[in-house]
């Protein structure tokens, strides 16, 4: 599966990936590596369950990476799960424009 994203300089876009049990997501950048900055965000539960719902299992939050356009150009970011038996790798093709349209 691949997504295509167009960014302007300084613009950011998040990519949500499913949580992995016993593993983590890694990424590699192909193409113009200097065009994008990729960073993993901390997992957070923005709305913790009320005390009444303690018996209800909590959902594991997505793994979120933030992609930022830092220079004009294009790159492909390939996210790969570590371990075996996980989901398929995920690609994001990014084109960074030098100016806002």
- Whether 81 is in a domain gets the answer yes
Per residue, the 3-state secondary structure of 31-74, as one string, reads: ECHHHEEEEECCCCCCCCCCHHHCCCCCCCCCEEEEEEECCCEE
Looking at residue 91, which CATH number applies to its domain?
2.60.40.10
**Domain membership of residue 34 as a residue range:** 2-42+61-97
Give the global pTM: 0.81
Q: What is the pLDDT of residue 50?
A: 57
- Whether 52 is in a domain gets the answer no
pLDDT in tens, 29-75: 999 999 999 999 987 665 665 555 566 666 778 899 999 999 999 99
Domains identified in the chain, total number: 1
Give CA separation, 21 vs 54, 64, 96, in Å.
Answer: 22, 15, 33
């Amino acid at each position: 599966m691949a997504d295509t994203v167009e960014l302007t300089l300084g613009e950011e876009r998040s990519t949500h990936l499913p949580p992995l049990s016993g593993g983590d997501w890694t990424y590699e950048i192909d193409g113009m590596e200097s065009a994008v900055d990729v960073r993993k965000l901390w997992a957070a539960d923005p709305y913790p369950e009320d005390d009444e719902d303690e018996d209800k299992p909590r959902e594991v939050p997505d793994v979120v990476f933030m992609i930022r356009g830092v220079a004009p150009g294009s790159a492909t970011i390939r996210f790969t799960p570590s371990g075996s038996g996980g989901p398929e790798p995920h690609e994001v093709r990014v084109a960074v424009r030098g100016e806002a349209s």
